[in-house]
Amino acid sequence: MDMSVESLEMPALTKAQLAELLFEKIGLNKRESKDMVDAFFDLIADSLVQGEDVKISGFGNFQIRTKAPRPGRNPRTGEMVPIQARRVVTFHAGYKLKEQIQDQDSMPAVQLA
């Protein structure tokens, strides 16, 4: 099955589509493909929950950032509401990914199969 990222019907690449592409490209069975995709994202999530940065060479970095508490405002009522401190995930694209995105007009479509 030839499939490029541009030909996907949905506006986002899903975990199910990733598993299907592993099945088609590598030849794993569908259960193994799904388990591999789930394990990959579980590993990333677990590392972030533990406060560790996740660096994927050639792709980018996922980092945990702690946002300080601050005053906020309910947009509907205008009432001042305190916003509590929280942890958020940030993503910074790596140089190679940024380069690919900038050069997308001169690059052929990425073939995943």
Six-digit token string for 25: 């490209």
pLDDT of residue 87: 95
Between 62 and 10, the higher pLDDT residue = 62
Can you tell me whether residue 38 is helix, strand or coil?
helix
Contacts of 92 (CB under 8 A, 6+ apart): 60, 61, 63
For residues 13 and 39, the answer to whether their CB atoms sit within 8 Å is no
pLDDT of residue 35: 94
**For the segment 5-50, what is each residue's pLDDT rounded down to a tens digit?**
555 455 888 999 999 999 999 888 999 999 999 999 999 999 999 9
Give the pLDDT band of residue 103 (cuts 50, 70, 90): confident
pLDDT of residue 30: 92
Of 62, 65, 61, nearest in space to 96 by CA: 61
Six-digit token string for 63: 């980092």
CA distance 18 to 80: 44
pLDDT of residue 1: 43
Domains and CATH numbers, the chain: 5-102 (4.10.520.10)
CA distance 63 to 53: 5
pTM over 0.85: no
pLDDT of residue 104: 75
